[in-house]
Structure 1
Amino acid sequence: MSNTKNTSQSQSSQEPQDSQEAQETQDDTRQHAARRRRPSPMEVLRQARAQLAELTGLTPESVSSFEQTEDGWSLEVEVLELERVPDTMSLMGSYQVELDPEGELTGYRRVRRYERGRADARRGGH
């Protein structure tokens, strides 16, 4: 009978250590998966353009600003909204696009609409 007690005592004394090791392994696996899921900046740019095109049916032409934020990524994407002849009269839209840390689009809004041939107005009254 004493052998049975010793065996169950030694098993129960190893459980906390085994569960601690298992927890550390799970934590390492989660951290590795998080690093693996985080896309590179170029992947984020490609994903943002593709997702915006799919949602709006419009053609993204360029990314005019790009930054990593606390919540993920923020981009400004220039989009062809209405093609005209001559091309300089085509209507463009500038869209603010927000993505989560994994590069999934979480929101967008048009912030400006302009003719392709028009330069931004100068600031400062000069």
Structure 2
Amino acid sequence: MSEPRARRRTTGDEPRARRPTAGEEPRRRRTAEEEPAEPPRRRRAAEEEAQPRGGADDDSPSTARGPRRGAARIGAPEAASRAAAHVRTMTGRSPEGVTSLERTEDGWRVGVEVLESRRVPDSTDILAECTVELDGDGELLSFRRASRYYRGRAGQEDQS
């Protein structure tokens, strides 16, 4: 068993909350409208890579982070979301989830899992892995169904 916590005794010497003086309005909490604007965002990686590093005669394409990749102007979460939306548009089926995400020289390559055939029990559902390539702005470059498989058995492909 734990011992009860001792109550803190005050001696009267502790500082108290400051009270407003005559003619001064009391402080109040800020409302949502009064909150300061968001702090300035950090520069995105593409912007940082576009900035030259080193001396004026340094014309190498690499930076401290590695080779330049200015093509991808959207981030990974946005690329995944847009890829899922493109799959929904192309197939008419709702994506189950994003299975892979890779930045490429031209933009993004995203793997999206789609439910192709719902069955009972659901362990016999047929899923498809679709590969979507997006440009740096998230626009569709290519779409293909890479494989089909029963739910829970990703190693067995092309089931009907």
TM-score tier, shorter chain, comes to: 0.5 to 0.7
Query: Which entry has the higher C-alpha Rg, 1 or 2?
Result: 2
Q: 1:113: which partner in 2?
A: 148
Note the 1:83-102 alignment, pairs <5 A.
83-102=118-137
**Structure having greater relative contact order (Cα 8 Å, sep ≥ 6):** 1
Q: 1:70 to 1:119 in 2, by over 3 A?
A: closer
> Would you say 1:78 and 2:113 are equivalent positions?
yes
Specify the code of the residue in structure 2 equivalent to 1:92: L
Count of paired positions? 87
The counterpart of 1:59, out of the listed 75, 94, 101, is 94
Specify the code of the residue in structure 2 equivalent to 1:63: V
What is the TM-score with the length of structure 2 in the denominator? 0.50
Structure 2 unaligned spans of 5+: 1-49, 51-69
CA-to-partner distance for each residue in 1:79-125, whole Å, 9 max, x for gaps?
Answer: 1001111111010000111000111111111111001132426xxxx
Specify the code of the residue in structure 2 equivalent to 1:85: V
CA-to-partner distance for each residue in 1:8-57, whole Å, 9 max, x for gaps?
Answer: xxxxxxxxxxxxxxxxxxxxxxx8xxx8x922211111111011101210
CA RMSD of aligned residues (A): 1.9
Larger helix share, 1 or 2: 1
Is this contact kept in 2: 1:59–1:81, CA < 8 A?
no
What is the TM-score with the length of structure 1 in the denominator? 0.63
Percent identity, aligned pairs only? 46
Q: 1:38: which partner in 2?
A: 73
Larger strand share, 1 or 2: 1
- Distance (Å, rounded) in 1 between the aligned partners of 2:144 and 2:126: 16
Structure 1 unaligned spans of 5+: 1-30, 122-126
Q: 1:7: which partner in 2?
A: none
- Distance (Å, rounded) in 2 between the aligned partners of 1:119 and 1:55: 22
Runs of 4+ in 1 over 2 A off after TM superposition: none
Q: 2:83: which partner in 1?
A: 48
- Distance (Å, rounded) in 1 between the aligned partners of 2:142 and 2:129: 14
Specify the code of the residue in structure 2 equivalent to 1:91: I
- Distance (Å, rounded) in 2 between the aligned partners of 1:56 and 1:119: 20
